[in-house]
Amino acid sequence: MRTKLLLLAAVVTLAACPGPNGTKQPSQTSTTTVNPQASPQNATAMNPVMPPQRDVPAKRTAGAASPSIDVQLTEYEIQMPDTLQAGHESFAIANAGKENHSLVVEGNGVHQALSNPLTRGDRTTLDLDLKPGTYTVWCPMPGHADKGMKRTITVK
């Protein structure tokens, strides 16, 4: 019995002892409700706040790869810019509709088409060399152009 009392007294004494720098150390199971970002001493642990990035038109330079042109195919619409720059362009085409769609670009000596229709969710690219002028872009799936999947774009 006496041994148990001595052991209990030793445990209580050790628990009350200060840590190496003279302060009482918190137990390893303690939790905190302090916001670490609200404490200046934790400023190095914070992620910096970045301002939103603005879309800036890319300048075309000789030999530089130009960004692709996004083309969305839906029922029954082709969403893409009305005006493009002359030169090499890469169309990033996505079927965002429910039906199969495809794409043909015609005009100014160009006639290029996708080799296969795109099913829902499919993506592909179509590389073109465009000269200044007017081009017709349309979906060759039966009846789609008549329902609105046909438009004219201008290349400057």
Residue 37 falls within a domain, yes or no? Answer: no
120 in any annotated domain = yes
Q: How far apart are CA 148 and CA 29, in angstroms?
A: 66
Q: In which residue ranges of the chain is pLDDT below 70?
A: 1-66
Per-residue pLDDT reduced to its tens digit, 55-94 = 444 334 344 456 899 999 999 999 999 999 999 999 999 9
Query: Residue 140 domain-assigned?
Result: yes
pLDDT score of 67: 80
Tell me if 144 is assigned to some domain: yes
- Is 41 inside any structural domain? no
Question: Strand 77-79 to strand 104-107: parallel, antiparallel, or no bridges (unpaired)?
Answer: unpaired
- How many domains are contained in the chain? 1
pLDDT for residue 31? 47
Q: What is the pLDDT of residue 65?
A: 53
Q: Please indicate, yes or no, if residue 42 is contained in any of the structural domains.
A: no
Residue 90 is given by DSSP the state E
pLDDT value at position 19? Answer: 54
Global pTM value: 0.58
Question: Would 95 be classed as within a structural domain?
Answer: yes
123: which residues sit within 8 A by CB, 6+ positions away?
92, 93, 94, 95
Q: How many CA atoms lie within 13 A of 146 on its CB side?
A: 3
- pLDDT value of residue 153: 97
Question: Domain range spanning residue 103?
Answer: 69-155
Q: Does any domain span residue 112?
A: yes
What CATH number corresponds to the domain at position 90? 2.60.40.420
DSSP, collapsed to helix, strand or coil, labels residue 154 as strand
